């Protein structure tokens, strides 16, 4: 459906623009809220005839909205609700609740001007957008708490005690000093110790190896000695054989004589 915008509509256009939207969006929202007209011939003529008047009204409405926005800027509303230990509410905070809380402070707005994507269901501070005019919006804080004391603490925000600040500062300074110093880190020292142990291992194994070689050399010497003893024995046996033969030969000669 083609429509003529009578005011600025987010993501659609400015006042006087002719745009095409879905039929349901136009019938259910834009036309009933008087934010647009059907873009037929008669309405186009009517709009052009009333354009200056519509623009003037829009200017007045925007000025009033800007005035209210100054009052609302940075404002916080406290909403006391029952909740469990985890901070989950037994219920929820809706746009109506926020509009009523602002009304109690003397600022009247319509619940339709409160923009909440979903109801608030937990304790804490929540930013809420208030749309005062198509061209003017402001953000307030909804402080949802179980008691006034809790609301005051949440409004102040988490504070770090001075002692913790000093401790954090000293710890950071110590880390920075370690990072800038030439001293090796504990891990590097451990690596150096392991390296020295690895180097010492071969040195310790060297005497053992030498002792092993000495032990192996002893049987070799014994083997040589045994070889010499055997050769001498064979020589003695040979000499004995020769002596026997010579004795036999001498005896034979005597018999011949």
Instruction: Show the DSSP H helices in 73-133 as ranges.
Output: 95-104
User: Taking the C-alpha atoms of 83, 121, 33 and 6 in order, what is their torsion angle to the nearest 10 degrees?
Assistant: 130
The residues that bridge with 88 in the sheet, in sequence order, are 122
Q: What's the whole-number average pLDDT of the chain?
A: 77
The pLDDT of residue 187 is: 52
For residues 162-169, average pLDDT: 46
Band of the pLDDT at 228, cuts 50, 70, 90? Answer: low
The answer, yes or no, to whether residue 56 has pLDDT greater than 70, is yes
Range of the domain at 107: 76-156
For residues 236-243, average pLDDT: 61
Give tens-digit pLDDT for 206-227. Answer: 455 445 554 444 444 444 444 4
Give tens-digit pLDDT for 175-209. Answer: 766 666 655 555 555 545 555 554 555 555 445 54
- All residues at 6 or more sequence positions from 123 whose CB lies less than 8 Å from its CB, including other chains: 81, 83, 87, 88, 89, 144, 145, 146, 150, 154
Separation between Cα atoms, residue 253 and residue 257, nearest integer Å: 7
User: Which residue among 135, 156, 177 closes a domain?
Assistant: 156
Structural domain contains residue 120:
yes
For residues 64-81, average pLDDT: 90
The pLDDT of residue 242 is: 53
Residue with the bigger pLDDT between 238 and 250: it is 238
> What 3-state DSSP class applies to 31?
coil
Residue 153 CA to its chain's centroid (Å): 28
Band of the pLDDT at 161, cuts 50, 70, 90? Answer: very low
- Statement to judge: residues 89 and 134 lie in one domain: yes
Residue with the bigger pLDDT between 246 and 64: it is 64
Residue with the bigger pLDDT between 19 and 178: it is 19
CATH label of the domain that carries residue 23 = 3.40.5.10
CATH label of the domain that carries residue 101 = 3.10.430.100
Residue with the bigger pLDDT between 110 and 169: it is 110
User: Which residue among 156, 172, 207 closes a domain?
Assistant: 156
Cα separations (Å) of 43 from 12, 29, 38, 242? 19, 18, 7, 155
């Amino acid at each position: 459906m083609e429509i003529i915008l009578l005011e600025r509509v987010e993501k659609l256009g400015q006042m006087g623009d002719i745009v095409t939207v879905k039929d349901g969006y136009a019938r259910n929202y834009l036309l009933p809220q008087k934010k647009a007209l059907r873009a037929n011939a008669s309405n186009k003529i009517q709009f052009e005839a009333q354009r200056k008047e519509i623009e003037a009204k829009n200017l007045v409405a925007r000025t009033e909205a800007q005035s209210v926005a100054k009052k609302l800027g940075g404002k916080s509303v406290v909403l006391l609700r029952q909740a469990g230990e985890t901070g989950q509410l037994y219920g929820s905070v809706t746009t109506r609740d926020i509009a009523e809380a602002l009304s109690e402070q003397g600022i009247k707005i319509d619940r339709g001007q409160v923009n909440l994507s979903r109801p608030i269901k937990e304790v804490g501070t929540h930013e809420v957008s208030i749309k005062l005019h198509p061209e003017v919006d402001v953000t307030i804080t909804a402080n949802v708490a179980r008691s006034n004391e809790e609301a005051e603490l949440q409004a102040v925000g988490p504070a770090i005690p001075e002692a913790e600040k000093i401790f954090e500062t000293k710890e950071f300074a110590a880390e920075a000093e370690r990072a800038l110093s030439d001293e090796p880190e504990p891990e590097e020292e451990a690596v150096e110790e392991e390296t020295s142990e690895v180097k010492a291992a071969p040195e310790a194994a060297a005497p053992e190896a030498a002792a092993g070689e000495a032990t192996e050399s002893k049987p070799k010497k014994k083997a040589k000695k045994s070889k010499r003893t055997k050769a001498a024995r064979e020589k003695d046996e040979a000499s004995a054989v020769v002596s026997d033969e010579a004795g036999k030969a001498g005896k034979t000669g005597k018999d011949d004589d």
